[in-house]
A and B are shown apart, each in its own frame.
Chain A
């Protein structure tokens, strides 16, 4: 490779070349809007959120309580049944302290996304759980720890719409 071929193709263009017109361009804005059918499992889960409940569903074969709920257990390939209301509490499986937006602009305030393992869903090598944001981490975001116990902070009932954001965030459970 390096020995045989001296010249490699690929022409680098500076960003400035677009603004000063030295390189031509054309733009497109696809209109990609969707209305995805929620179906049985997610539909019921969202209805639960609206009612202020986190619901799981049970696999009759392995006994796992699945969150997010699905109509089939991916390990047993068995259809699930028996909805369970979970306490909503859990612990932080992992987290990040995010200070830039997707386009690399700095955020005004850090976000702390985390994977929450929910109580009542522990199984062999897996836990039911959700990605969500953390809040009320005191005294500052850096105090967050893996394993920290957390609980959901719900929107008031009248503001809930049946969405994951009906939970505003999870916060540490105060000791005692």
Chain B
């Protein structure tokens, strides 16, 4: 392939907390600084910044990337933000990838930040206005409505029960116990999940990932720089993204076709023909328990409707055949939207380098896939990374 190879050479992140003292740009700086320190580069050596963040309403600043630019290391540097709703966290490293793959730059700082707690009285308020202003907002919808309806469509199509889905939470929160930045790392009983407060049937409180503040950063480098900086570069092998129609009520909600499209694009680029054999770890987007399952199917790592069974068989456990969300995912680590997606990519970086500590999956994984999703259940973003 004549495209330049791009590697991830450093990563950093803040703790994901319910409410942070740090301002949004201070959170960005903390993560970015750690990412630079982790690979021994200075800000001077960074040629451009690729940032990502979800609604401006969270941090409470119009043109959010301008507001975040000092903490993103963008002073006197080229800096562009990308934005695809909840899919942003995985789109941003892709955005960084083409900065370098284009040949224009050799190093790039990738940064995602979200300070949801600035949105009062509840961060969900930022989601009230994601709906069509004329035909939907007058009905007073919120985010829970549409996820509940998608979850219901998925459960109905395949005859799934709440118990089938809830095992994802038990697994991910358990994995998160070993994540030093996690908000909700703990052993949790499936009965507790099933007994948690109802919110919007079929969604109960513990089906949902926690709202949080946080930032994550990566350092990307072109091949010649990567080899100079580290002896363990993690290569970006494939990137894909796809956006479905905004007329979400017209779609089949039981299957995330846009995730499949994005996965096909990324797999093609990575030369993957049999994803189930060629991928060792997966970090699908899990803001709700059913989403991990939905996305495993969209990523073609499970047959349609079969991801719950795969989970029940233990295949997706950290020590299973296909570890899924070894980080603890959004359900365990927390969900500062764009930062949460990039956290998944950072997790692949650490896992593939064998640096994931208590979360390390066994068997020296060689290749992983991370995926995010968002908008009106409409966008899929997929990145494949490997050490081959």
Direct contact of A and B (CB under 8 A): yes
CB within 8 Å of A: which B322-371 residues: 346, 350, 355-359
Q: Mark A1-31, 1 if CB is under 8 A from B, else 0.
A: 1111100111111110000000100011010
The answer to whether A164 touches B252, judged by C-beta atoms less than 8 angstroms apart, is no
A96 and B22 in contact, given A2-B178, A10-B16, A38-B134 (Cβ under 8 angstroms): no
Query: With A2-B355, A12-B15, A42-B135 as given contacts, are A100 and B20 in contact (CB-CB < 8 Å)?
Result: no
CA distance A23 to B203 in the complex (A): 34
Task: Decide: A10 and B20 in contact? CB cutoff 8 A.
Answer: yes
**B:144-172 near A, CB below 8 Å:** 144-146, 148-150, 152-153, 156
Complex formed: what's the CA distance from A104 to B146 in Å? 16
Q: Confirm or deny: A48 has a beta carbon within 8 angstroms of a beta carbon on chain B.
A: no
| Residues from chain B with Cβ under 8 Å of A116 in the complex | 249
Instruction: Give CA–CA (A79, B263) in the complex, Å.
Output: 31
Those of A112-152 within 8 Å (CB) of chain B: 113-116, 125-133, 146
List the B side residues contacting A42 at CB < 8 Å: 134-135
The answer to whether A12 and B20 have CB atoms under 8 Å apart is: yes
Check: A70 CB closer than 8 A to any chain B CB: yes
B134, A36: Cβ atoms closer than 8 Å: yes
9-residue interface stretch from B46-54, B122-130, B276-284: B122-130
Across-interface contacts of A10 in B (CB, < 8 A): 14-17, 20, 22, 27, 30, 181, 213-214
For B60, what are the chain A residues with a Cβ–Cβ distance below 8 Å? 28, 30
Q: Is the CB of A9 within 8 A of B30?
A: yes
**Nearest A residue to B124 by beta-carbon distance?**
A102
Contact between chains at A68 and B20 (CB < 8 Å): no
B11 close to A (CB within 8 Å): yes
Whether A12 and B18, one on each chain, are in contact in the complex, defined by CB atoms closer than 8 angstroms, is yes
Residues A74 and B16 in contact, CB atoms below 8 Å apart: no
Q: Nearest Cβ distance between residue B265 and chain A, in whole angstroms?
A: 19
How far is the CB of B68 from the nearest CB of chain A, in Å? 16
How far is A117 from B28 in the complex, measured between Cα atoms in Å? Answer: 44
Q: A175 interface residue, CB < 8 Å from B?
A: no
Q: How far is the CB of B322 from chain A (nearest CB, A)?
A: 22
Q: Does A95 contact B (CB under 8 A)?
A: yes
B202 within 8 A of A: yes
Q: Is the CB–CB distance between A70 and B17 below 8 Å?
A: no
- With an 8 A cutoff between CB atoms, is A76 at the interface? no
Chain B CB within 8 A of A98 CB: yes
Q: 1/0 contact trace for B1-38 toward A, CB 8 Å?
A: 00000000001011111111110000100110010001
Which B residue sits closest to A104, measured CB to CB? Answer: B122
Given A4-B355, A94-B150, A125-B252, is A100 in contact with B199 using a C-beta cutoff of 8 Å? yes
Nearest CB in chain B to that of A46: its residue: B134
Within the assembled complex, what's the spacing in Å between the Cα atoms of A10 and B146?
32
Give A38 to B144 CA distance when docked, in angstroms: 27
Q: Name the B residues within 8 Å of A111 (CB-CB).
A: 140
Query: Which of B17, B148, B152, B179 touches A11 (beta carbons < 8 Å)?
Result: B17
A88–B237 Cα gap in the complex (Å)?
A: 49
Contact B149 A113 (CB under 8 A): yes
Determine the residue in chain B with the shortest Cβ distance to A101.
B142
Q: Is the CB of B199 within 8 A of A164?
A: no
B136 within 8 A of A: yes
Assess the B202–A96 pair: CB atoms within 8 A.
yes
Does B251 have its Cβ within 8 Å of any Cβ on chain A? yes
A-facing residues in B212-257 (Cβ within 8 Å)? 213-214, 245, 247, 249-253
B256 to chain A, nearest CB (A): 14
**A51 contacts partner chain B, Cβ-Cβ < 8 Å:** no
Q: B141 interface residue, CB < 8 Å from A? A: yes
Distance, CA A118 to CA B144, complexed state (A): 23
Residue picked from A45, A95, A115, most chain B C-beta under 10 Å? A115
Contact check, A4 vs B38: say whether CB atoms are below 8 A apart.
Answer: yes
A-B contact pairs, 8 of them (CB 8 A): A1-B355, A8-B13, A9-B30, A11-B20, A96-B200, A98-B145, A102-B122, A132-B139
A residues contacting B by CB (< 8 A) are 1-5, 8-15, 23, 27-28, 30, 34, 36, 38, 42, 45-46, 66-68, 70, 74, 93-104, 111, 113-116, 125-133, 146, 163-165
